[in-house]
Amino acid sequence: MAPPVASLSAVEVDYPGRGRALGPFDLTLTGGEIVALVGPSGCGKSTALRLLAGLEAPTRGQVQRAAGRGETSVVFQAPTLAPWLSATANVALPLALAGLARGEARRRAREALARVGLAGAEDARPAELSGGMAMRASLARAMVTNPKLLLLDEPFAALDEITRRALADDVLALWRETRPAIVFVTHNVEEAAYMAGRVVVMTAGPGRFAGETTIDAPVPRPAGFRTTALFRDAVETVSGHLASGMAAAA
Amino acid sequence: MKRLSSLLAPLALVAVLLGVWEATCRLNHTPQYLLPPPSAIVVALIQNARILALSAWRTLAMALEALVAAGLFGGGLALLVTLSRTLDRAVRPLAVALQVTPVIAIAPLIVIWAGVDHPDRAIIALAAIVAFFPIFSGTVRGLTSADPDLERLFDLYGARPVQRLTRLRLPAALPFIIEGAKVASGLAIIGAVVAEFVAGSGGAQGLAWRILEAGNRLETAKMFAAIVALALMAAGVHLVFQNLERRGLKWWRGR
C-alpha cells in the first residue's frame, strides 16, 4: 500500500465567535486515491480541506502532509481566476510564482489548457469564458504543477447538471494521467459515489466521522455506470450514513 | 434618432435660455457691468482668447502637477498602510481630518508657507491636498479587494510578498485606482482654482486670477468669459479621464 499523502489525526478547529467548526475528525489519504467528503452544510468539510491544504492550522490535533510546496493544488467553488489575466497567464500563475521562466510556464499552461479541452481559448479572459470553461481553466491551473494532492472544494456546485457530469468525467480522466490523491468536498451524494473510490460521510457541524463506503469500480467510470447496482447501492449506503450522521448530531 | 434627440435636447434648452438672457438684457437696457448679454461674453471670449487659453493652461498645468503629486503620495501612503494594520489605524484619522477640513480654510496658511513669491507652489500643494484623499482611499480599498480565494492560492503556492503585491494586489486594485484618479482630477482643478483665489496675486496668472482681475475692473463680460473657459477646461479634463476609465476597465476585464 502506498504511503499516506496527508492525514488528519483527531483535529479540531474552533473559530472565535462561532465555536467548534470541525472535529474531532480523522482522515488518512493514501497516494493516488480519490476520496469524497460528504456532509450537510456547515459540517466543516471545507475547513477539513483547508487543513489538508495547509492553509489553516487546527486548534487541536495533528495534520501531517507529505506533499511539499507546489505539490498541493486547490480548486475552489468559484473558478477564482484573475480577471486581468488571459486563460494561459492564469494557468501559468503557479509556475510563475515558483520562479519558472515565462516561456516555459506559458508552454506548460497551454498544454494543461489543451488537456482540459480549452485549446483555442488560450488568450481568452475569464469574462469571456462560460461557467464550465472557467471551471476547466481553474482545473488546468490546479493540474499544471502535477500535484501529488488535489483538493476540490465543491468545485461543480455552481454548474448545471450536464456540465458537472462532463467535468466529473474530465477530472477522472485527468486523474488517470498523473494519479494524484484527490479529496473533493461535495454535498451531492450521487456525485460523490460517481467520482470517489472512498466516500467519507461527516455528521452535521461540528463535523465528525459518520461512516465510510468504498466503491470498487474502474476509473474513469464505464458508460452507464450510474445505472449499475454497484452505484445505486453506494448511493443508498452513503445516504444512510448521511441520515444517521444528521440524526446523531440532532 | 434617440441619440440625436439626447444630443439636441440640452443644446435646445441652452439656446432658449441664452435667447431669453440676451432679450432681457437688451429690452431692459441692463448695464453691462451688472449683467452682460451672451453676445458680449462671446465677444470678450474671442478678444481675450489668447490670454484665456494661456491662463487655462496655467491652471490646468498646476492641477495636473498636483494630481501627479497626490498620486505619488496618496498611492505610496496607501501601499504602506496596507502593509501594517497599526499604520492604517494611525494614518486613517489624519487622512480623514485632512479630507473634511475645507481647503479654503487652510489655504492662507499654505500661501504664507510657500512665500509670496511662489503662489504657484501654494496652489499646487493645495490642489494636491484636495486630490489626495480619493486616490489614497481608492488605492487602499483596491489593494484589499482581491478575491480571498486568490489570496489563499498565493498562500498555497508560497508566493513572496513582492509577488503577492505585483501579481495580485496591484492588478486587483487597478479599477479602484482609476476611479480614484478620475474623482481626484476634478477635485484638483477645484482645489487649484480655490487656491488661486486665496493666493489672490498675479504671480500664478491662472484662470481664477483672470476672474479676479476682470472683477476688480468691473469687466463683467470678461469675468463670464473666464468662467466659460474654466467650465470648458474642467469638462474637457472630465471627458478625458472618463474615457481613460472606460478604456482602462475594458482592458482590465478583457471586454
Residue A215 shares a structural domain with residue A175: yes
Q: What is the DSSP letter of B167?
A: I
Alpha-carbon dihedral of residues B157, A172, A113, A131, nearest 10 degrees? -90
Residues 6+ apart with CB under 8 A from B232: B56
pLDDT tens by residue, B26-48: 999 999 889 999 999 999 999 99
- Number of domains chain A contains: 2
Residue A112 shares a structural domain with residue A203: no
Give A-chain residues touching B254 at CB under 8 angstroms.
83-84, 86, 124-128
Residue B175 has phi, psi (to 5 degrees) of: -60, -35
Residue A109 shares a structural domain with residue A28: no
pLDDT tens by residue, B44-102: 999 999 999 999 999 999 999 999 999 999 999 999 998 888 988 999 899 889 888 88
Residue A207 is predicted with a pLDDT of 85
Buried b (16+ CB within 10 A) or exposed e, B166-191: ebbbbbbbbbbbbbbbbbbbbbbbeb
CA-to-CA separations, B114 to A25, B57, B117, B206, in angstroms, rounded: 68, 22, 8, 17
**CA-closest candidate to residue B145, choices B111, B114, B175:** B175
Residue B201 is predicted with a pLDDT of 65
Residue among B152, B154, B171 minimizing CB distance to A84: B171
Residue A64 has pLDDT above 60, yes or no: yes
Q: Say which CATH superfamily domain B60-253 falls into.
A: MetI-like (1.10.3720.10)
Write down the domain spans for chain B.
Answer: 60-253
Residue A119 shares a structural domain with residue A228: no
Please name the residue of chain A whose CA is at the shortest distance from the CA of residue B175: A84
**Is A83–B254 a contact, with Cβ atoms under 8 angstroms apart?**
yes
**Which residue among A147, A162, A178 closes a domain?**
A147
- Does residue B127 contact residue B62 with C-beta atoms inside 8 Å? yes
For residue B203, what is its C-alpha cell?
504671480
Residue B145 — very low, low, confident or very high, per pLDDT cuts 50/70/90?
very high
| Rounded distance between C-alpha atoms, residue A152 and residue A112, angstroms | 17
Residue A73, in any domain of the structure:
no
**Is A84–B252 a contact, with Cβ atoms under 8 angstroms apart?**
yes
Residue A155 is predicted with a pLDDT of 86
Give A-chain residues touching B150 at CB under 8 angstroms.
80, 82
Q: Which domain holds residue A228?
A: 4-67+149-249
Residue A1 — very low, low, confident or very high, per pLDDT cuts 50/70/90?
low
Residue A204 is predicted with a pLDDT of 84
Residue A2 is predicted with a pLDDT of 63
Residue A26 shares a structural domain with residue A102: no
Residue A182 shares a structural domain with residue A213: yes
Give B-chain residues touching A98 at CB under 8 angstroms.
157-158
Residue A159 shares a structural domain with residue A143: no
For residue A244, what is its C-alpha cell?
444517521
Residue A168 shares a structural domain with residue A141: no
Write out the DSSP string of B16-75. Answer: HHHHHHHHHHHHHT--TTT---HHHHHHHHHHTHHHHHHHHHHHHHHHHHHHHHHHHHHH
Residue among B152, B157, B253 minimizing CB distance to A97: B157
Residue among B149, B159, B252 minimizing CB distance to A78: B149
- Does residue A51 contact residue A63 with C-beta atoms inside 8 Å? yes
Residue type, A110: R
Smallest CA–CA separation between B150 and chain A, in Å? 6
- Does residue B134 contact residue B187 with C-beta atoms inside 8 Å? yes
Give A-chain residues touching B153 at CB under 8 angstroms.
74, 80, 93-94
Residue A138 is predicted with a pLDDT of 94
Smallest CA–CA separation between B157 and chain A, in Å? 5
Residue B211 has pLDDT above 80, yes or no: yes
Residue A78, in any domain of the structure:
no
Residue B120 is predicted with a pLDDT of 87
Residue A93, in any domain of the structure:
yes
Residue A12 shares a structural domain with residue A115: no
Residue A250 is predicted with a pLDDT of 58
Residue A244 — very low, low, confident or very high, per pLDDT cuts 50/70/90?
confident
**Is B153–A80 a contact, with Cβ atoms under 8 angstroms apart?**
yes
Residue A29 shares a structural domain with residue A153: yes
Residue A75 has pLDDT above 90, yes or no: yes
Residue A100 shares a structural domain with residue A192: no
Residue type, B166: T
**Is A125–B168 a contact, with Cβ atoms under 8 angstroms apart?**
no
Q: What percent of chain B has pLDDT over 90?
A: 67
pLDDT tens by residue, A114-134: 988 898 989 999 999 998 899
The enclosing domain of A220 has a CATH number of 3.40.50.300
Residue A56 shares a structural domain with residue A158: yes
Residue B130 has pLDDT above 90, yes or no: yes
Under an 8 Å CB criterion, which residues of A touch B? 50, 53-55, 69-70, 72-74, 76, 78, 80, 82-86, 93-94, 96-98, 124-128
Output the average pLDDT for chain A. 88
Q: What percent of chain B has pLDDT over 70?
A: 98
Residue A116, in any domain of the structure:
yes
Instruction: Find the helix packing angle between B38-47 and B49-83, rounded to 10°.
Output: 80
| Rounded distance between C-alpha atoms, residue A238 and residue A216, angstroms | 14
| Rounded distance between C-alpha atoms, residue A43 and residue A24, angstroms | 12
pLDDT tens by residue, A192-243: 889 998 999 988 878 888 888 888 888 888 888 888 888 888 888 888 888 8
Residue A62 has phi, psi (to 5 degrees) of: -125, 140
**Is B152–A73 a contact, with Cβ atoms under 8 angstroms apart?**
no
Smallest CA–CA separation between A225 and chain B, in Å? 34
Residue A32, in any domain of the structure:
yes
